[in-house]
Amino acid sequence: MSKLRHFPLTQRFVAAFALLLLVAGCATTPTETMLAVPAPAQKYAAIVVDGSGKTLFEANSTAPRYPASLTKMMTLYLLFEALEQGRISKTTLIPVSANAARQPPTKLRFRRGETIDVDSAIRAITVKSANDVAVAVAEYLGGSEDAFAAMMTAKARQIGMPSTVFRNASGLPDAGQLTTARDMAVLGMALRARFPQHFHYFSESDFMFRGRLVRGHNDMLGRVRGVNGIKTGYIRASGFNIVTSYDADGRRLILVVMGADSARQRNDHVEALIQRNLSPASNTTTRLLYAEQ
């Protein structure tokens, strides 16, 4: 995998709400797209990377941020790896401990001693972002959630995520659990490249479990043609986060937006970044519209 370019943290504060201003250049100069971003500077970060690992756009991409449920992407990476290595199968039953069952929502509301098969666990994590299932997976694969979090951090280093530390498997609040937009782009690319046979799980918007339809949170699915995953996340400290995969018409992108004030602002910003970065780099330059303070 190509390494992403490292950019310094911008020193300017970012405008508060999403507003797109299109500035057309003359026929002999490139078109420039200016984007006002959807969050305060202390939370906002973004990056757009193409299929080769080339950075097309970035803002605050190496600044520390809380991953929230983007954390579950690494939980799934280790689960997919266990499947690939034959340590588990999709029919393996994962027990739910008292600790897993008492996790706060979002969850499937298991009781202690119940089980969930691996295939359903994957869907519960990708679609519902179920905290109880993420912890059950961590305890099953790692022996304890703490041990599994150490495995997650070690895997992050191995695949090229130098600024990420995991403390739990769910993304629930922990002051020590930090990442960057750049690292999340690396993880998104790694999931797509390493596990193409499992990547379809990230494109599912709902699934059936115990006779009921469980709906998901990723409203980018079906909103923009070519979007095929990956994961959303939110805690109060992080704002609204997303990693998005785009694959259509011979173009492949991974986009990360972190720290938006709402899911709608986040999704609008992702859509704008997709549209502007699908244009040839020689014809379009994307940059942020900042508020100087």
| pLDDT mean for each 10 residues of the chain (293 residues) | 38 32 31 57 92 94 98 98 98 98 95 96 97 98 98 98 98 98 98 97 94 92 94 97 96 97 96 88 41 22
Q: Say how far apart CA 177 and CA 161 lie, in whole Å.
A: 13
Please say if 245 is a catalytic residue: no
Q: Of the listed 72, 107, 128, 155, which one is catalytic?
A: 72
Q: What is the rounded CA–CA span in Å between residue 205 and residue 191?
A: 18
Q: 19-289 maps to which CATH number?
A: 3.40.710.10
Give the CB-side neighbour count of residue 283, counting CA atoms within 13 A.
6
Instruction: Identify the pLDDT of residue 25.
Output: 32
> How high is the pLDDT of residue 22?
29
Q: What is the pLDDT of residue 36?
A: 60
In order of 35, 265, 293, the CA distances from 13 in angstroms are 14, 18, 7
* 186's tokens: 């690396």
Binding residue ranges for substrate: 231
Residue 26: what pLDDT?
31
Residue 161 DSSP label: -
Q: Residues 170, 131: contact at Cβ < 8 Å?
A: yes
**Residue 139: predicted pLDDT:** 98
β-strand partners of 247: 252
> What tokens were used for 112?
């202690």
- Asked about 129 being catalytic, the answer comes back as yes
Measure Cα distances from 210 to 48, 110, 116 in Å.
38, 12, 10
Q: Report the phi/psi class of residue 259: left, alpha or beta, with left for phi > 0 and alpha for psi in -120 to 50.
A: left
**Catalytic one among 43, 61, 69, 245?**
69
Annotated binding residues: 231
pLDDT at 217: 86
Measure the CA–CA gap between 67 and 76, rounded to whole angstroms.
Answer: 15
- Which of the residues 129, 170, 238, 245 is marked catalytic? 129
Task: Reply yes or no on whether 144 is catalytic.
Answer: no
The answer to whether 76 touches 170, Cβ cutoff 8 Å, is: no
The angle that helices 72-84 and 145-158 make with each other, rounded to 10 degrees, is 80
Q: What gap in Å lies between CA 146 and CA 270, rounded to an integer?
A: 33
Q: Please give the sequence-ordered ranges of beta strands (E in DSSP) within the chain, or none if there are none.
A: 19-23, 31-36, 45-50, 55-59, 93-95, 115-117, 206-209, 212-215, 227-235, 239-248, 251-260, 284-289
